[in-house]
Amino acid sequence: MKYRTMGTDPRTRRRVSVLALGAMLFGSVTDEKTSFAILDRYVEAGGSFIDTSDNYAFWVDGGQGGQSEELLGRWRRSRGIGDEVVIATKLGARPLAPGTSYVDNAEGLSAKVIRESAERSRERLGVDRLDVLYAHIEDPRVPLRETVEGFAALVAEGTVGVLGVSNHAVWRVERARALAAAAGLPGYEVLQYAHSHLRPRSDVPGDLFPDGSLGHAGPDLLGYLREEPGLTLVAYSPLLKGAYTRPERLPSDYDHPGTPARLKVLHEVARETGATVGQVVLARQIGGALPVVPLVGVSSVAQLEENLAAVDLELTPEQHARLDAAH
């Protein structure tokens, strides 16, 4: 396994594996025995960065979520897992009532919600401190200053380490970070967005967000990452939910003339390296110029093994350049 450091404050920054494991469906769609087997193998291979959220997976049973955090808590206790494994979670998108969703009834990002939701997550996970805590989705109803101060208060108390943000417009991320900096408070240092080799259109609605730009790491966010070396991008859905091997799964916002050209080069590099297409996608993120940690979701140990093999796949500078240039 390879590792990178996330966060800039020596008191809270963490060293994490370059491949993160998503636990979104653990404890709901993926049963406990299988989930434990995947987690055990991931840690055995040197993996140390697990991702979840307080609302995973509310859509499975029409509830409010929490199954994933609860399962991770049971796994930690049964295996004696301590702070050698970094668990990141999110708040802000938990439905306020069963049978509703984050689209029209999210918990939001008020200071009160941040404190109460973080406490519930710590209890479910069985930890004293949340290593990484994200603002999951935007909350335009709450002043950014209140959100910034709400997260910073938990860092000051020692119950949260590194702060992160996902699925926000880049201007809101920068404004929140500027408010934090001006007040001498910790700000967002980890950005979690969908990011893969194929690029979606940003002028049509995406799968999750009416504004297609919010969920994806577009040119503006990647440019921001390039100019701010203290930031890390955690790239979710790097394998597009299996669409590289099952094209019928490719979301409609990827249906444009650039997709075939990028797929052509991707398959060429896969043949040259003897790796799978998915391994090339992951290796490109792990070995690229920007600090990107791909976040993979798997439902079996076999799928995890294929993804783990990508960590040791080294692409040449020429292959990186060809993949970058394809359009």
What integer pLDDT is reported at residue 149 of this predicted model?
98
Identity of residue 178? A
Query: What's the mean per-residue pLDDT of the chain?
Result: 95
Whether the Cβ atoms of residue 22 and residue 203 lie closer than 8 Å to each other: no
Task: Output the CA torsion sign for 18, 56, 240, 300.
Answer: positive
Angle at the Cα of 286 (from 267 to 326), degrees rounded to 5?
A: 40
> CA-CA distance, 1 to 231, in Å (whole number)?
21
What integer pLDDT is reported at residue 153 of this predicted model?
98
> CA-CA distance, 187 to 67, in Å (whole number)?
28
pLDDT digits 0-9 by tens, 112-162: 999 999 999 999 999 999 999 999 999 999 999 999 999 999 999 999 999
Q: Give the tokens for residue 65.
A: 């979520």
Q: Which of 240, 241, 199, 239 is nearest to 220 (CA)?
A: 199
What integer pLDDT is reported at residue 205 of this predicted model?
65
The alpha carbon of residue 94 and the mean position of all alpha carbons in its chain are separated, in whole angstroms, by 16
> CA-CA distance, 39 to 49, in Å (whole number)?
11
Identity of residue 39? L
What integer pLDDT is reported at residue 101 of this predicted model?
87
What integer pLDDT is reported at residue 210 of this predicted model?
56
β-pair partners for 165:
135, 191
What integer pLDDT is reported at residue 215 of this predicted model?
86
Q: Give the tokens for residue 158.
A: 């020692």
List the domains of the chain with CATH numbers. Answer: 3-254+281-315 (3.20.20.100)
Low-confidence ranges of the chain (pLDDT < 70): 205-214
Q: CB-based burial of residue 237 (10 Å sphere; 0-12 exposed, 13-18 middle, 19+ buried)? A: buried
What integer pLDDT is reported at residue 202 of this predicted model?
78
What integer pLDDT is reported at residue 103 of this predicted model?
83
